[in-house]
Structure 1
Amino acid sequence: MKMLTRIAVLSSIVGLVSVADANGQNPVIRDQYTADPTARVFNGKVYLYPSHDILAPEGKGLRPDWFCMEDYHVFSSSDLVNWEDHGVIVSQYSAPWVDSNTYSMWAPDCVERDGKYYFYFPANRKPVEGANPRRGGFGIGVAIADAPEGPYVPQENPIEGIFGIDPSVLIDKDGQAYIYYSMGQIFVAKLKDNMVELASQPVAIENLPDKGLKEGPFVFERNGLYYLTFPHVENVTERLEYAIGESPEGPFRMAGVIMDESPTGCWTNHHSIMEYEGQWYLFYHHNDYSPNFDKNRSTRIDSLFFNPDGTIQKVVPTLRGVGVSSAYAQIEIDRYSAISGSGAEIAYHDTTNYFKGWKTILNEPGAWIRYNKVGFGEIAPKSVKLNARSKGASVVELREGSPNGTLIAKVKVAASSDWNLAVAKAKKIIGTKDLVVVFKKGSEVEIDWVQFE
């Protein structure tokens, strides 16, 4: 379906700045595609290990309408807001056993044991030659490092006895490691202490849905319960589901849905779940920067909560994401927390380069958009500036908490077809507040970002 240049914003639908400039908004990585995100906490920081979607290179005999991945990056953050890209850690050219013509480096995982970091990744093996030549099929390899950001050294061969994709590794409280993966079904096997060999034969996990694709398992333990979470195509596209068991190998019982199918039709959703500083989070992906091609996905984060009985509350995808955004950085209000029912919408800046992000459009008096959790600190700002433009002169107000909340600033936007800075004095505001931008009067106004000084 052709994406219109201007997108009417619906509350059910869930920017290009550098990674270092990311400001607690979805997607969290804004200069490249990052799918299948696995997040882990190492040494007090969060490390993100996604797959890396690219467009299929021409002349390689690849399907232009399919997934294409040739390497992995790792990112880290101490606040889930600002992310550092540590660069490529493994590629199809650095792993000796991988067929580098297949661009099939799909969803990975990484765990730590005894000071070593084990990065698990799937890819197609090199073709089998000889009297009966054939494709090697999917295997799962391991690369090992002394630090979570690498450098990683891939093992010479994939794990013997595994034919599948989407590895997830759990080290249980007794020290036993388990590997989960998918290939038609979801399998589990024990790993030896060396973390690169199987200690048991893989077994298909029972009591999961028979109908539809199942893949991408991610397993974690909480309060003595083991959660087997996975994408499943119950209808047309994937939704995130889970089963609960009392041991890492099950038996498991289906427990519910973590996230419904994408409201915009993105076919896949792959994820991980982790706790950081007392809060649980869901990492997942969506085709935000590729609205017309859902094989190029980007990582999002939203908070996740449990019910008293241990079941998971369904997560509704948001644009705002998580974390506190600094008032003194550029706040892209199009990654909103809430929006008025009429007179407010968002649109892509440039439909030839979606990584340029979005803009907010206000065109009706009283229309508003709210952006939660803006951190002002203990020293009040003196002024605020908007990167904005308007066909005619217009006025917008910045308010605290609600469209009728305490006035922070009244900003006049001059008539111009070019983007310009509109500056106004800011009234005293400190702490962490929700910011509301309200269209007061005048011609339609477009806003790129808001920043306090």
Structure 2
Amino acid sequence: MVNYRLFYLLSVLAGPLLGSTVRAQNPFITNQFTADPSARVFNGRVYVYPSHDILATPGRGRVGWFAMEDYHVFSSANLTDWTDHGVLVTQNKVPWVKPDSYSMWAPDCGYRNGKYYFYFPSTPRDTTINKGFTVGVAVGDKPTGPFVPQPLPIKGVRGIDPNVFIDKDGQAYLYWSQGNIYGAKLKENMLELASEPQTLGELPTKGLKEGPYLFERNGTYYLTYPHVANKTERLEYATSTSPLGPFTVQGVLMDESPTGCWTNHHSILEFENQWYLFYHHNDLSPSFDKNRSIRLDSLFFEPTGAIRKVVPTLRGVGLTDARQKIQLDRYSRLSSHGASIAFLDTLNKFQGWKTVFASPQAWVQYNGVAFGKQALRTVTLRTQAAAGATVQLRLDGATGPLLAQVTVPKGSQWQEVKAPLTAFKPGTHTLVVSSQTNSPVAIDWVKFE
């Protein structure tokens, strides 16, 4: 039984602060629930516009179902350090939205002629407009807002999951889903349809399809979308030589969640000559998949233009500065015996995870640590070992150079233990941390100075 009141209170207490910085791997936002990430590059910086899951409680949405009342935007210059810019749009401040609908689902954002256009679906307060979902627009001068919602939703759009695409010739398109996936041209003002909605009918006819995201690469238009082909959503794609098709289904770009998260929703972005897939999973709420968290992994194309299937990782992308707290639980590899990952606090999962070493030679490997050029002299571990323990840190594999051997004192409480480095090697390396004793030891993070 989920204690909804306690869970909601804890989520509020651990909630985000305006302008707060989150350093994380996957999921890369860990101070609130996020889903349906739409990633965009504006002025050389990546902005992610997700939906914002909250836990529904009596009087606040439908208990046991999705609940979303507002939108945040996050940005990063390096895909590692993320800034929360706060709330962009909230349900009770949009003229046409039912103020207690809790249905601010997957959004998107586009830029044109000096303005930013934020597209979002919700339930209208006036059911003569639409009895289901429709899509509105809020306009801002900056990618972080403030955004001013238009008084009415877009006429002719019925559905959810808006996606905006501006072609190289300047023509803008809007895509959305409602049973099928639809597309239409947008007028120059980005606020009205310039053509009748068109059903993109070449896609699979069986199983739910939603969350369209279209992008262009080398003259090919890729329409990507979640699809329930079996039990839960996987990410698929189709291609065309035109933004509105006809499309040819090509295959799967990410398989169903191995842990059973029912939804997935994504965007695909090129940034500094590398392509990335933004998607979501229920990492911070493993027993309730209506509270999700956004993730990020690299995406690659075959020479033919086919998308190589993306395998989800905990490590994610980007380099981790050795001087920052390295979260070993977002590992690249984990020994099959004696090492495991667990929540630090099962009542407040926003606290994150710990790595538990239960036997000698249990190890964890974390790739992509940037040690820099200037020599580092010490390492600090936030650790816990009731009977005491010995931990080794090495570079570039289990037999690589020994960085430090750390003696962890006995104690049931978490403690920060500092030890000198026995060696230093500049540059970017793989970090391997292993236990050398029979007694269990847990590590929250590692940091070098």
TM-score class, shorter-chain normalisation, is: over 0.9
Pairwise CA RMSD: 1.7
1:263 to 258, 263, 275: 258
- Using the TM superposition, give the Cα deviation of residue 17 of structure 1 relative to its aligned residue in structure 2, in angstroms: 9.5
- Using the TM superposition, give the Cα deviation of residue 135 of structure 1 relative to its aligned residue in structure 2, in angstroms: 6.8
Amino acid at match of 2:227: H
> Which residue is equivalent to 1:144?
139
Contact persistence 1:24–1:324 (CA under 8 A) = no
Question: 1:435 aligned to 2:434?
Answer: no
Residues 353-381 of structure 1, C-alpha deviations (whole Å, 9 max, x = no match) = 11111110112221110011111111121
- Using the TM superposition, give the Cα deviation of residue 429 of structure 1 relative to its aligned residue in structure 2, in angstroms: 2.1
Contact persistence 1:189–1:203 (CA under 8 A) = yes
- Using the TM superposition, give the Cα deviation of residue 20 of structure 1 relative to its aligned residue in structure 2, in angstroms: 4.9
Contact persistence 1:40–1:46 (CA under 8 A) = yes
Question: 1:448 aligned to 2:444?
Answer: yes
> What CA distance in whole angstroms lies between the structure 1 residues aligned with 2:347 and 2:127?
42
> Which residue is equivalent to 2:75?
76
> What CA distance in whole angstroms lies between the structure 2 residues aligned with 1:145 and 1:17?
22
> Any stretches of 5+ residues in structure 1 without a counterpart?
3-14
* Alignment CA distance shift 1:106-1:17 (3 Å): closer
Amino acid at match of 2:120: F
SS in 2 for 1:242: strand
SS in 2 for 1:355: helix
> What CA distance in whole angstroms lies between the structure 1 residues aligned with 2:15 and 2:149?
32
Contact persistence 1:23–1:326 (CA under 8 A) = no
Contact persistence 1:240–1:260 (CA under 8 A) = yes
Question: 1:96 aligned to 2:92?
Answer: no
1:361 to 356, 360, 367: 356
Contact persistence 2:92–2:100 (CA under 8 A) = no
Amino acid at match of 1:331: I
> What CA distance in whole angstroms lies between the structure 2 residues aligned with 1:435 and 1:380?
16
* Alignment CA distance shift 1:21-1:125 (3 Å): closer
Amino acid at match of 2:299: L
> Which residue is equivalent to 1:10?
none
Contact persistence 2:140–2:147 (CA under 8 A) = yes
Deviates more, 1:440-449 or 1:172-181: 440-449
> What CA distance in whole angstroms lies between the structure 2 residues aligned with 1:21 and 1:91?
22
> What CA distance in whole angstroms lies between the structure 2 residues aligned with 1:265 and 1:379?
45
Contact persistence 2:101–2:123 (CA under 8 A) = yes
SS in 1 for 2:93: coil
1:206 to 184, 198, 201: 201
> Which residue is equivalent to 2:301?
306
Amino acid at match of 2:184: A
Amino acid at match of 1:330: K
SS in 1 for 2:313: coil
Contact persistence 2:220–2:239 (CA under 8 A) = yes
Q: How does 1:115-194 map to 2 (within 5 A)?
A: 115-128=114-127, 136-194=131-189
Contact persistence 2:23–2:82 (CA under 8 A) = no
1:336 to 331, 348, 357: 331
Contact persistence 1:35–1:299 (CA under 8 A) = yes
Contact persistence 1:259–1:315 (CA under 8 A) = yes
Contact persistence 2:21–2:83 (CA under 8 A) = no
> Which residue is equivalent to 2:46?
46
Contact persistence 2:24–2:30 (CA under 8 A) = no
SS in 1 for 2:223: strand
> What CA distance in whole angstroms lies between the structure 1 residues aligned with 2:24 and 2:250?
31
> What CA distance in whole angstroms lies between the structure 2 residues aligned with 1:305 and 1:384?
36
Contact persistence 2:180–2:201 (CA under 8 A) = no
Amino acid at match of 1:128: T
> Which residue is equivalent to 2:7?
none
> Which residue is equivalent to 1:7?
none
Deviates more, 1:88-97 or 1:217-226: 88-97
The number of residues matched between the two structures is: 436
Higher relative contact order (CA 8 A, sep 6+): 1
> What CA distance in whole angstroms lies between the structure 1 residues aligned with 2:352 and 2:213?
30
- Using the TM superposition, give the Cα deviation of residue 56 of structure 1 relative to its aligned residue in structure 2, in angstroms: 1.4
SS in 1 for 2:92: coil
Deviates more, 1:20-29 or 1:92-101: 20-29
> Which residue is equivalent to 2:26?
26
Amino acid at match of 1:54: I
> What CA distance in whole angstroms lies between the structure 1 residues aligned with 2:219 and 2:24?
32
> What CA distance in whole angstroms lies between the structure 2 residues aligned with 1:276 and 1:367?
37
Residues 186-239 of structure 1, C-alpha deviations (whole Å, 9 max, x = no match) = 001000101010110001102111110000000000010000000000001000
> Any stretches of 5+ residues in structure 2 without a counterpart?
3-13
Give me the identity figure in percent.
58
Contact persistence 2:27–2:293 (CA under 8 A) = yes
Residues 433-453 of structure 1, C-alpha deviations (whole Å, 9 max, x = no match) = 110001112411110100001
Contact persistence 2:35–2:293 (CA under 8 A) = yes
Q: How does 1:376-415 map to 2 (within 5 A)?
A: 376-415=371-410
Contact persistence 2:379–2:447 (CA under 8 A) = yes
- Using the TM superposition, give the Cα deviation of residue 24 of structure 1 relative to its aligned residue in structure 2, in angstroms: 4.2
> Which residue is equivalent to 1:370?
365
SS in 2 for 1:93: helix
Q: How does 1:199-238 map to 2 (within 5 A)?
A: 199-238=194-233
- Using the TM superposition, give the Cα deviation of residue 21 of structure 1 relative to its aligned residue in structure 2, in angstroms: 5.1
Question: 1:35 aligned to 2:29?
Answer: no
Residues 73-99 of structure 1, C-alpha deviations (whole Å, 9 max, x = no match) = 111110111111111111111211011
Relative to the length of structure 2, the TM-score reads 0.94
Residues 314-373 of structure 1, C-alpha deviations (whole Å, 9 max, x = no match) = 111111111111111111100000011111001111111111111101122211100111
Contact persistence 1:239–1:262 (CA under 8 A) = yes
Amino acid at match of 1:218: Y
> What CA distance in whole angstroms lies between the structure 2 residues aligned with 1:271 and 1:225?
19
Amino acid at match of 2:91: Q
> What CA distance in whole angstroms lies between the structure 1 residues aligned with 2:102 and 2:197?
26
Contact persistence 1:16–1:30 (CA under 8 A) = no
